[in-house]
């Protein structure tokens, strides 16, 4: 007898597609400016169906944020696998480079920024902290780096966010050169 493959419902198939559309739309307009109708239009489904999948806008944003952090961990893992040696510093460097390539598509970066701006909403704050915990724990375990090194890695990532979102690296002002010194992002 051949084992049966579980059949996914339409909702199970659509949920990740809607979350991907939500990631794109919330990255563009943020939590406060983006409507469920915007996400529905991007997903090419009705707003009513979006609400069937995600009964509250907060749940939709959380699904997008969870997808964002999943993609980040996948990129960090790929970077770690490509490290020149298994030393903590080499693994952290390789993960940092992989993340820099990942955020060339600014949607993941901007979604995180928008999540920070809406973190006072309990579900979003909880999801943001859970995502940061997931990334931090992954980096710590995969790199075998010290807690101090992991903290610097996360802090450096936040500085990179600031440089990219504020376009600090495009300024020739002395303060901008100090902030962006030694940090480069792939084109």
Task: Grade residue 2 by pLDDT with cuts at 50, 70 and 90.
Answer: low
Identify the pLDDT of residue 10.
84
CA distance 103 to 88: 22
What's the rounded mean pLDDT across residues 142-170? 93
Superfamily of domain 10-180: Tetracycline Repressor, domain 2 (1.10.357.10)
In tens, the pLDDT along 68-78 reads: 999 999 999 99
Q: What are the two backbone dihedrals, phi and then psi, of residue 73, each rounded to the nearest 5 degrees?
A: -60, -40
Identify the pLDDT of residue 99.
92
- Mean pLDDT, the chain, rounded, equals 93
pLDDT of 21 strictly over 60: yes
Contact 73, 138 (CB under 8 A): yes
Contact 121, 31 (CB under 8 A): yes
What percentage of the chain exceeds 70 in pLDDT? 94
In tens, the pLDDT along 91-150 reads: 999 999 999 899 888 899 999 999 999 999 999 999 999 999 999 999 999 999 999 999
Burial of 122: CB neighbours in 10 Å, binned 0-12, 13-18, 19+: exposed
Task: Grade residue 1 by pLDDT with cuts at 50, 70 and 90.
Answer: low
DSSP letter string over 53-91? HSSSHHHHHHHHHHHHHHHHHHHHHHHHHT-SSSSHHHH
Higher pLDDT residue, 157 or 62? 62
Identify the pLDDT of residue 87.
97
pTM of the model: 0.89
Higher pLDDT residue, 182 or 138? 138
């Amino acid at each position: 007898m051949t084992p049966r493959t579980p059949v996914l419902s339409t909702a199970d198939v659509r949920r990740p597609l809607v979350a991907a559309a939500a990631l794109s739309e919330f990255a563009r307009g943020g939590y406060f400016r983006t409507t469920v109708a915007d996400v529905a239009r991007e997903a090419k489904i009705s707003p009513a169906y979006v609400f069937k999948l995600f009964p509250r806008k907060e749940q939709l944003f959380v699904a997008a944020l969870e997808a964002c952090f999943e993609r980040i961990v996948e990129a960090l893992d790929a970077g770690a696998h490509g490290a020149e040696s298994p030393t903590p510093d080499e693994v952290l460097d390789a993960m940092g480079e992989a993340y820099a390539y990942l955020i060339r598509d600014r949607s993941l970066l901007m979604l995180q920024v928008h999540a920070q701006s809406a973190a006072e909403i309990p579900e979003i704050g909880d999801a943001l902290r859970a995502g940061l915990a997931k990334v931090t724990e992954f980096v710590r375990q995969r790199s075998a780096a010290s807690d101090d090194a992991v903290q610097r890695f996360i802090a450096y990532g936040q500085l990179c966010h600031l440089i990219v979102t504020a376009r600090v690296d495009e300024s020739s002002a002395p303060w901008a050169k100090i902030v962006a010194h030694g940090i480069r992002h792939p084109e």
